[in-house]
Amino acid sequence: MIERGDITGCLAGKILRINLSNQNIGTEETKKYAQKTLGGRGINSLIMVNEIASQVKWYDPENLLCFGVGALVGTLAPGSCRVDISTINVFSGGKGSANVGGFWGPELKYAGFDNLIIIGKSRKPVYLYINDENVEIKDASLLWGKDIYETENILRKEIGDEHIKIACIGPAGENRVRGSAIMIDTTKAAGGSGVGCVMGDKKLKAIVVRGHGKIEVAEPERFMRVVAKCYQQCKDEPNTGMMRKSPSNLYSDPEWKGWNTNIVVKNGQDDQWERENRIRLMNCKTGVPNMQKGVRACYSCPIGCMPYMEINKGKYKGSKGEGFWINTIMGHACRFDISDPESVVESWLLTNKFGLDGDYVAAGLSWVFELYEKGIITQKDTDGLELTWGNGDALNKLIKKLAYREGIGDLLADGMVEAAKKIGHHSEYYLIQVKGQPSLEPFRVPKGWALAVSTSPVAGRHLRGATMGGDRYGPKPRPGNFGVTDYQNQAKGVVWQGKTKELEDNLGICNYVGTWSGANFLTIADFAELINSGMGLDLTEEELLNHYALIGRNLEKAFNALHTNMTREDDLPPERFMKEEVKSGPYKGFKIDEDKYNQMLDEYYELWGWDKKTGMQTRSGLKKLGLEDIAEKLVKYGKLIDK
C-alpha cells in the first residue's frame, strides 16, 4: 500500500450521513477514506463494499445512495465539477454508478461536505435542504408528482434563494421506473444503473444545497501555476473549438466518420443510417443545429459543450431546454429511424423533463418498436400506439407512458428483461442489454467500444474505457497501434482509458476536458501536478495509474462478486451482434467474432491483474493494493483466486 503523507488541501473535510428511516443526521471525517481512494467515486465504492451486506437488494432500506464529489471539485482545476452517484444497480444487482456535472457538486463542497451517504426509507415524500452545516429533512408532499422543471421552480420559490443548487427526480423516479435518472441543474442527467429509481424508492424527491464556504489548496501559488498551464493547453488544443460548438454538430457533415462507427439503426437491425436521413436531421438550415441557441458550460469548464435548444416550428413549437447530445442522435433518432428534427429534440426534452435515463429510453423503447414490427406485440398491447419506425409522435407518447407507468408503460417500467419474460415469443433475443441494462451502444464495428461496454462494472455503459481507435483516444504515445475495427492491441487502449476514467471520477474532472474523446488537453502528468499541489501529496503518474486507479476498479469488481453471480459469460457482447452482420455501408458484413473477442478479453483481464480464465480477482493482486480485508470477504464467499 502506498503511503505518501497526509492530505492537506482540496477536501471539504466531512462526509454527511442521513438515515431517512429514523431521520438521524451525522458526519464523519473524509480523510481516512480519501487517503486510500483520493475521493469521489472511490470513496463511494469503499463505503459500499464495506457497509452493504451481500444479501441486500436495491429496494431494501439498507441499500445506500451515495453522492461523491470529486477531490478537485470546488477548486479552479479545469473541468472539476463532477459528482458520482453510486448505489446497488437495479438491473444487475451489483455496483451501480452514474456520473454528472453541473454546479451541484461544488455547492455541496462549499457547504462543507465531500460525500453524502443516504440510508433507509422515508414513510412519506421528503427532500433534503443542506444550507452549510444546517441540514433539514423537509416535507415534499406538494412536490410529489411534479416534473423536473416544476420541482425546481417550486423549490426556488419556497426557499427564496436563487443560488441554491438542486438534484431531483421526476415522475419516473417516483414511480420506480428502472431507467430513471437523477437530474442536476434541471437538465444534467445522472443516468444509468437506475439511481433515480433508488432515490424514488427511498421517497426522496430532491436534495437542495447552498454553501457559503471555500476550498483550500495545499500550495496555492504552485497550484495556480499548474491551473494556468492546463488552461493554456486547452486554448492550444485544436479540438477545443469543436467542443465549444457542441460535439453533436460534427454530425452536420453527412460524411462524418461517426455516422459509420457509432450508429445502431432500428434496434440493431443495421449499423448504417441512410444519407438522406442524416441530412434531414442534422443540416444547418432546417435541422437540429438550426434550433441551437447557445452553448452552456458546467462549473470551471474552459470549453462548454451543452447546447440550449428551442423548437421554432411545427407541433412542438415553443419547447426548449438544454442538452441535445450525440447520444440523442445515436438513440432517439437512429434507433427509431426518426429523422424529423423537431420530433427528436422533443423526445430528448421529454426524457429530461420526466427524469428518465436517455440511454434506457432509446435502447428499451426501440426494442418495443421492433417487437411491434415483427408482430410480437400489436396495437392492442401498445394502447393503440402505432409503433412504426420513424414515428416520432408515437415515441413521445410512449416516453410519457413509461414515466407514469400508464398502460404498456407499466409493463416496461420494471425493466425490459422482466418485460421480455412476460412477452415471450423469443423477444429476449431482440433486447440489446448488458448485465440486464438496455444498451444503445455500437458493438459490431468498434471493437474497443464493444470490449469496454461489455465489461463495464456498472452494466453496459461506455464511459469506463470505450475507445474508437488510437487516433483520438488513449495516451500519447498510444498503448499499441490500434484502429477502430482491430482486435489486436485493443485491450491495452481500453484498460488505459478505464484507468484514466477511474482517476477522473475520483478527482471530479470531466473526461471531455481530461483524456477522453473531446478537448483531450489534460494528461496523467497534469493530474499528478494538480493533486500534489492541491492536496499536498507527492504522487507519481505511475502511482496514479497503477495504484489508485486499480483500487477504484477493484472495489467495484469486488462489490459485483459479493452481490451477484456474474461470470466471464456476462462480459460478452449481446448475442445479436455476434450472429447478425452489418447489412449496409462501408462495414457491411461486420459482426463480433467470438473467438477474437475472447482473446481480447483474456488480455483485458490480465492487464487488470485478474485471472483470465474466470475473470476473478486474485489474493496477491488485492494484497498489493492494500485491500487484504476485501480479499478476506471474497474468500468467504468463494469469489477469489487464491494466488
- Please report, for the chain, the start and end positions of each structural domain, with discontinuous segments joined by +: 14-210, 255-435, 447-520+540-636
Q: What is the pLDDT of residue 470?
A: 73
- N-to-C CA span, the chain: 18
Cis peptide before 302 (omega within 30 of 0): no
3-class SS letters over 200-258:
HHCCEEEEEEECCCCCCCCCHHHHHHHHHHHHHHHHHCCHHHHHHCCHHHHHHCCCCCH
What's the rounded Cα separation, in Å, for the pair 594 and 592?
Answer: 6
The contacts of residue 49 (CB under 8 Å, 6+ apart) are: 555, 558, 559, 562, 630, 633
Under DSSP, is residue 532 helix (H, G, I), strand (E, B) or coil? helix
What's the rounded Cα separation, in Å, for the pair 312 and 333?
Answer: 19
Residue of 607, 598, 602, 510 whose CA lies nearest to 549: 607
Q: What is the pLDDT of residue 580?
A: 98
The CATH number of the domain covering residues in 14-210: 3.60.9.10
The contacts of residue 54 (CB under 8 Å, 6+ apart) are: 562, 563, 637
Residue of 350, 353, 288 whose CA lies nearest to 314: 288
Residue of 374, 347, 345, 346 whose CA lies nearest to 362: 347
The contacts of residue 370 (CB under 8 Å, 6+ apart) are: 266, 267, 269, 430
Q: What is the pLDDT of residue 541?
A: 95
Cβ–Cβ < 8 Å for 584, 270:
yes
What's the rounded Cα separation, in Å, for the pair 306 and 297?
Answer: 6
For residue 99, the cross-strand partners are 84
CATH of 255-435 given 3.50.50.60, 3.40.470.10, 1.10.569.10, 3.20.20.150: 1.10.569.10
Q: What are phi and psi of 210, to 5 degrees?
A: -140, 120
User: Would the pTM of this model clear 0.85, i.e. be above it?
Assistant: yes
- Amino acid occupying residue 45: S
CATH of 447-520+540-636 given 1.20.140.10, 1.25.40.10, 1.10.599.10, 1.20.120.50: 1.10.599.10
Cβ–Cβ < 8 Å for 169, 128:
no
Cβ–Cβ < 8 Å for 294, 308:
yes
- Give every residue of the chain whose pLDDT is below 70, as ranges: 1-4, 471-481, 518-520
User: CA gyration radius for the chain?
Assistant: 23
For 521-535, write each residue's pLDDT tens digit.
899 999 999 999 999
Q: How many CA atoms lie within 13 A of 342 on its CB side?
A: 11
Cβ–Cβ < 8 Å for 40, 188:
no
